[in-house]
């Protein structure tokens, strides 16, 4: 694993973006989708958003 250094301001911005993403509906749907795949459920086009 490689270590990188980034400015503190950039790191703080990344933390805010991550918190915002985790609260988004799209992220929640992605997590649900991954769980369904792991459970082996079959999908319809509607499940995939088509």
Task: Please state the rounded mean pLDDT for residues 22-48.
Answer: 80
Instruction: Classify the C-alpha dihedral 5-22-33-37 as positive or negative.
Output: positive
pLDDT band (50, 70, 90) for residue 48: low
- pLDDT for the residue 46: 73
Supply the pTM of this predicted model: 0.52
Sequence-separated (6 or more) residues with CB below 8 Å from residue 33: 47
């Amino acid at each position: 694993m490689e270590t990188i250094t980034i400015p503190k301001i950039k790191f703080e911005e990344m933390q805010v973006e991550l918190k915002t993403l985790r609260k988004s509906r799209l992220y929640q749907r992605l997590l649900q989708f991954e769980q369904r795949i792991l459970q082996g459920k079959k999908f319809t086009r509607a499940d995939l958003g088509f």
